[in-house]
Copies of this chain bind each other. A is one copy, B any other.
Amino acid sequence: MKKNQPSSRRRLLQLGAALGGGLAARQESARAEESDRRLGKPLSAYGERSPFEKSGRSVRLTKTPEAGSSGTPLGDSYGILTPSALHYERHHSGVPNIDPARHRLVIHGMVERPLILTIEEIKRLPSVSRIYVVECGGNSGGEWGPKTGSDAQRSYGLASCSEWTGVPLSLLMAETGVRPGASWILAEGADACRMQRSIPLAKAIEDILLAYGQNGEPIRPEQGYPLRLIVPGWEGATHVKWLQRLKVTGQPHMTRDETARYSDLMPDGKARLFTFVMEAKSVVTFPSGGQKLNGAGLYEITGLAWSGRGRIERVEVTTDGGRSWRNAQLQEPRLRIAFTRFRLPWTWDGRQAVLASRATDESGYVQPSKQALIEVRGLNSGYHFNGIKLWKVQADGSVTNADA
């Protein structure tokens, strides 16, 4: 390779100017000549990421390390897919180590023909694959209060998007039949706490999947290996992991995790139960909390939007704290109930700026401001926060949440 001439470096400065000063000239000559000529690592059966990459799930521990949650590092995300290794976690009693050859799914209760199925039998049935977001009902729970999350992961990271493969539950329900009066299903996991959620039968028949595949391979242990429910658009806890039992019933089971938890305490002291749908939401992932801009100039604001009600139709971005909004570009394909990546070029003038995004879904629903949400739901709701998230870009380029 030829050494770069002085003129090259001068011209690099021109590109730097075009992009706003970010691409700085360097004294170095062609570094490529110096790169390693020794043979690299040989072929391998199953790959790993580069040792230079350290992005990880944030771990929010409770009193036992087996119960808690860890968020997807959305600030480091690309595209619309979440690597399975970084899919958010929410466990109530740790990740069981299940032998798929011994695991069974029982379908019983108000059915005509109860069933016990092996994983092998389930995998033999007609299947579908769908790219869906899964979001914890408690995602962004910290945003209700005055001290909001410091970065995208810790504020909005209990949401992840994968390609899920499995059997439509409707197919099995057609096999078992349901008895008159059947209207709910109790789903139970094989984790130590036997996590349980009640789901209306109509949803089960509409679009629930018995999923065993995630992003092209078997579901990861933290996400329910070998079998979980995928309940498109509904809060994550209904997507019961390590699924071992479905009981068809005539009423909801009123389990702990749909009464004491995953319910919304309203200002009048009453609690809303079974608020399943995750409404439209979005977050700017760059620039977002904890990141730093390297001087004024051209940047691409980007982020993720999604809705439990379907497709994202519009994402607006503000750089002045909400006084003005511009439409971001939405990346295709825009899939129902999946992350949609949005992008907007932005020339930063080097002064303090407040950034945010606002999503509109195909139902016409517009993501509300935090204030609007609090007016309706009060401050004890805990779950289902989908308010607009503001990031403050400081004059030194550092990015914090807008409360900092």
Q: Which residues of A contact B (CB under 8 A)?
A: 1-2, 4-5, 7-9, 11-12, 14-15, 18-19, 22-23, 26, 28, 30-32, 35-53, 55-57, 59, 61, 64-66, 68-70, 76-87, 89, 91, 93-104, 106, 108, 112-117, 120-121, 124-129, 163-165, 175-176, 188, 190-192, 212-213, 215-218, 220-222, 225-226, 244-245, 247, 294, 299-300, 302, 331, 333, 335, 341, 343, 345
Q: Are B341 and A40 neighbours in the complex by a CB distance under 8 Å?
A: no
Q: Are A115 and B15 neighbours in the complex by a CB distance under 8 Å?
A: yes
| Contacts known (A49-B220, A96-B36, A129-B80); A41 close to B66, Cβ less than 8 A | yes
**Nearest-neighbor residue (CB-CB) of A299 within chain B:** B124
Q: How far is the CA of A84 from the CA of B85 in the complex (A)?
A: 11
Which residues of the other chain, B, contact A78 by a CB distance below 8 angstroms?
127, 129, 163, 165, 212-213, 216-218
Q: Are A56 and B46 neighbours in the complex by a CB distance under 8 Å?
A: yes
Q: Are A36 and B192 neighbours in the complex by a CB distance under 8 Å?
A: yes
Q: Are A100 and B52 neighbours in the complex by a CB distance under 8 Å?
A: yes
**Nearest-neighbor residue (CB-CB) of A70 within chain B:** B43
List 22 A-B pairs, Cβ < 8 Å: A1-B108, A1-B245, A4-B114, A12-B116, A19-B124, A39-B64, A40-B66, A40-B192, A41-B66, A41-B221, A42-B68, A43-B59, A43-B89, A44-B89, A46-B56, A46-B85, A47-B220, A49-B220, A53-B217, A80-B129, A80-B216, A333-B333
Q: Are A175 and B96 neighbours in the complex by a CB distance under 8 Å?
A: no
Q: How far is the CA of A129 from the CA of B343 in the complex (A)?
A: 11
Q: How far is the CA of A61 from the CA of B108 in the complex (A)?
A: 51
Q: Are A49 and B218 neighbours in the complex by a CB distance under 8 Å?
A: yes
Q: How far is the CA of A50 from the CA of B210 in the complex (A)?
A: 18
Q: How far is the CA of A175 from the CA of B14 in the complex (A)?
A: 9
Q: Are A85 and B47 neighbours in the complex by a CB distance under 8 Å?
A: yes
Which residues of the other chain, B, contact A38 by a CB distance below 8 angstroms?
192
With beta carbons under 8 angstroms apart, the residue of B2, B225, B343 that contacts A50 is B225
| Contacts known (A11-B112, A190-B32); A22 close to B64, Cβ less than 8 A | no
What's the least CB distance linking A355 to chain B, in Å?
16
